[in-house]
Structure 1
Amino acid sequence: MDTAETQPTLLRNRAFLLVWFSGLTVMLGFSVFFLSVSWFVVDELQQEALLGIVLMAVSIPRVIMMIYGGILADKIKKSLIMFVTNACQVLVMVAMIVLFSTGSLTAFTLILIALIFGFLDAFFFPAVSSMIPTIVRDAELQRANSLFQGSTELMFIAGPLLAGILLTVGDFTLTFTASAVLIAVSTVLVFPPFIGDKKPERKAPGTAMADLKEGLRYVWDSDVHRTGTYTIVIINLFMIGPLIISFPILVQSLGGSPFELSLFEGGLAAGTFLASVILVIWNLQKRRGRLVFLSLTASFSLFLLFSFAESLPIMIILTALTGFMAMFVYLPAVTMVQENTDKDKLGRVMSIISLAAGGFEPIAFGLIALLVALSLPISFILTAAASSGLLLGLLLIWKSPGFRKID
């Protein structure tokens, strides 16, 4: 019998609760950290173009190492990977606090820290995303994904607000310290003896390249995996990446403050959180392929409207609506992929999905940073990104009639 099927119901599942609460604290810490870094770059260093480089520095190591992170998750205990990566991130945060306190936090050291964070993320996220299907019942997988994703998105509402308050009453030392403490709590929660997950069964030894080829072939040969991956690539490359990097640039151009920046990021998180709550209650099981494609079209249409907006309140509302529809693309697509994946390949498959979700963002960050440096208006850049994503999405829908019929 599948190990996951012997697990208790979701809210009585100790392993899931620990992983869930660990996700909450680490995402809250990350959101405080990233808003602080974004504001440090545009306000303290006053180098808007550097923001794209910093975000690329986070994302590029994730691109390079994400697949290996998935291979590792299929070979050793996933809780051990999460524990070690979180512990290392705490040490990085401590070093960052020392550098800022001594006036040594320069553009170079900030990029170096971002590189290390990205490297560690490449191991953490494939581990946690491939662990959930192994510790919950299959019938509760959609609900578990929605609960985990939605509540961690809620932390991206609370995080920017918390960071904005801390920056108002203190300086960056306060926000960096808060991030370090939150990530440390997450580290304790995923201490391997607490989780009790099993080490993957030992297979015949093989090279990392052979494991990688097997995982890529597995994804390519499945319509669910292939189309789901393409969908996530499109929405992250042409929507989520451009949105994330545009927020501090838009706020700075409007003469705003960290509070206005937190409203943008909080609006995006609020939309994704609300969609996740609906999916937790709904626990959708039918016609998910059709829902993914309809939501993809709607989210890019809203993003296109956002690119034309000039009023701050309207932009925040459109940000929330865009995030709302994007979550109806991401969560059902991920769950469909997990349900159709053999357990011994979950790490590699979810690393490919994680790569699709975040690994293509550096391309968006780099292109937009370059276009901003060339003095192109941010509104024009966002319009081009939204239009391109909408057209590619429609092309994918046309080319993937089978995906629309998948439950």
Structure 2
Amino acid sequence: MTETSNKITAPVSLLRNRSFMLVWMSGLTVMLGFSMFFLSVSWFIVDVLNRPAVLGVVLMSVAIPRVIMMIYGGILADKIRKSLIMFVTNFLQGLVMITMIILFLNDWLDVSTLIVIALVFGFLDAFFFPAVSSMIPIIVRDEQLQRANSLFQGSTEMMFIIGPLVAGILLTIGDYTLTFSVAAILIFISTVLVFPPLIQDPVPKKREGSPSALDDLKEGLAYVRQSHVHRTGTLSIVIINLFMIGPLIISFPILVDALGGRPLELSLLEGGLSAGTFLASVLLVIWNMKKKRGRFVFGSLIVSFSFFIMFSLLETLPLLILLAALTGFVAMFVYLPTITIVQERTDKDKLGRVMSIITLAASGFEPVAFGLISFLVAAALPIQTILTIAGSVGLLLSIVLVVMSSQFRKLD
């Protein structure tokens, strides 16, 4: 099968591309379920178990297996039908949600069981996200790639606005059984939408010599390392996730609890961040940026850390929500153009491995941030001080990257 035949031919409009629409709707439902699940678990740990310092441990338990298995997830996505990977991982995550509901109903849901559940979720995520991120460049045309990425990312980010709000309301009028059940149903709906016969994505062509997973890994890492564009783009995403997004995620429930807030205030704060990222994604769908993207990415990197440092200095919830939205808004102007630039310059038979490395950069370094911040919180260091330090270090590293990456700055 040739590279041309691997690309599913579709009408000009993305909304008429059945494969993309099914993957998109699957992404919407699964992210809605995940956002409800993570807010409920975070509040359960802080409010019911009264163990805020343990929150970072549980979040690390999601991220660590994701880090360990992410590259292999990308290798698998280059060898196996991507819709099959998404279908199986979603189905297994739905089963995990049912297990958690049973544990909660029997009063067996404690820190140790939450850590085990988080480990399983992280393990499955390591296979799901490389598959979906490498699927989009195959089922849409090259000229539609920026809009497809922005539409998918923006709408799934919208689910992180709706999800926390819905979870907050459900926790207010009901209990955790209701919230966990709704999240499980949404994940199973996502599973049905990516049933392989419906997506009809191509089966990857078998490579000559049947290379081992280690050979595939070495080839993918060498491919990224030897490309200035891939290397610089990856470093940009590492910096923004390690020193900004990771600290933001873990700080929200701690800040709300310290300020005497409720689940609804927590959902508003998380919704503020998601609102900013969603609006930026919508703008990029409308504005199909093609010129001076390298400079735009670097400028956005500096501005987003400036907003994050301002966020770390505030203690009023309305202002925190506003700054979280502004930080997320500008951060998306780093992430989405970088992803598109990398995808445009990647061979199709290496997309799974390259996107697994990018996804690892986007989320795999979060365990480091979670662990450090949890340790500092347990040592009674104020969360605002921790965030200020993280933002300052991230800003300094961003400036160094901009100065040392003149080739990336010149990219269109």
| Same fold, TM-score > 0.5, yes or no | yes
Q: Does 1:114 align with 2:122?
A: no
- Post-superposition offset of 1:207: 1.1
Picking from 55, 58, 62, the partner of 1:58 is 62
Deviation track 1:293-338 (CA, whole Å, cap 9, x = no partner) reads: 0000000000000011121111110000000000000000000000
**Please, which of 330, 351, 354 is the counterpart of residue 349 of structure 1?**
354
In 2, distance between residues paired with 1:219 and 1:226?
A: 6
Shift of 1:5: 6.8
Does the residue aligned with 1:89 lie in a helix, a strand or coil?
helix
Distance in 1 of aligned mates of 2:51 and 2:276: 30
- 1:4, 1:138 within 8 Å by CA — same for their partners in 2? no
Tell me what 1:129 maps to: 133
Q: Report the identity percentage.
A: 71
Aligned with 2:360: secondary structure? helix
Is 1:240 matched up with 2:255? no
- C-alpha contact (below 8 Å) 2:8/2:201 kept by paired residues: no
Runs of 4+ in 1 over 2 A off after TM superposition: 1-9
**What is the 5 A alignment of 1:242-391?**
242-391=247-396
Question: In the alignment, is residue 140 of structure 1 matched against residue 155 of structure 2?
Answer: no
**Aligned partners of 2:269 and 2:228: how far apart in 1?**
36
How far does the alpha carbon of each residue in 1:331-382 deviate from its partner, in whole angstroms, 9 at most, with x for none? 0000000000000000000000000000000000000000000000001000
Q: Residue 128 of structure 1: CA displacement?
A: 0.1
CA drift at 1:8: 2.3
**Do structure 1's residue 39 and structure 2's residue 43 form an aligned pair?**
yes
Whether contact under 8 Å (1:60, 1:359) holds in the other structure is: yes
Confirm or deny: 8 A CA contact 1:78 1:197 kept in the other structure: yes
Q: Provide the secondary structure at the position in 2 that maps to 1:202.
A: coil
How far, CA to CA, are the matches of 1:244 and 1:189 in structure 2? 29
**Distance in 2, Cα, partners of 1:322 & 1:23:** 23
Aligned to 1:94: 98
> Do the aligned residues in 1 keep the contact of 2:134 with 2:351 (CA within 8 Å)?
yes
Q: 5 Å matches for 1:112-261?
A: 112-204=116-208, 205-261=210-266
Distance 1:22 1:337 in 2: 24
Q: 1:7 pairs with 5, 10, 17, which one?
A: 10
Q: Give 1:7's aligned amino acid.
A: A
From 402, 407, 412, the equivalent of 1:402 is 407
Write the distance in 2 (CA, Å) between the matches of 1:218 and 1:254.
47
Give the letter aligned to residue 28 of structure 2: L
Tell me, which stretches of 5 or more residues in structure 1 are unaligned? none
> CA–CA distance in 1 between the matches of 2:334 and 2:268?
23
CA distance in 1, matches of 2:300, 2:38: 28
CA distance in 2, matches of 1:402, 1:127: 30
Distance, in Å, in 1 between the alignment partners of 2:8 and 2:141 is 5
**1:148-182 Cα deviation digits (max 9, x unpaired):** 00000000000000000000110000000011000
CA distance in 1, matches of 2:71, 2:202: 21
Retained in 2: the 8 A contact 1:5–1:138? Answer: no
Query: Taking structure 1 as the reference length, what is the TM-score of the superposition?
Result: 0.99
Q: Judge which range, 156-165 or 309-318, deviates more.
A: 309-318
Give CA deviations for 1:57-115 in whole Å, capped at 9, x if unaligned. 00000000000000000001000000000000000000000000000001100000000
Distance 1:249 1:373 in 2: 12
Superposed CA offset, 1:369-404 (max 9, x none): 000000000010000000000000000000001101
Mapped to 2, the partners of 1:388 and 1:293 lie a distance apart of 16
Distance across 2 between alignment mates of 1:182 and 1:86: 10
Structure 1 residue 6: Cα displacement: 2.6
Q: In structure 2, how many angstroms separate the alpha carbons of the residues matched to 1:240 and 1:261?
A: 16
The secondary structure found in structure 1 opposite 2:206 is coil
Q: Report the 3-state secondary structure (helix = DSSP H, G, I; strand = E; otherwise coil) of the residue aligned with 2:315.
A: coil
Separation in 2, partners of 1:115, 1:8? 41
What is the alpha-carbon distance in structure 2 between the residues aligned to residue 55 and residue 261 of structure 1?
17
TM score, norm. by length of structure 2: 0.98
Q: Which amino acid aligns with 2:176?
A: F
1:29·1:178 contact (CA, 8 Å) conserved in 2? yes
Do the aligned residues in 1 keep the contact of 2:70 with 2:356 (CA within 8 Å)?
A: yes
Q: CA RMSD in A?
A: 0.7
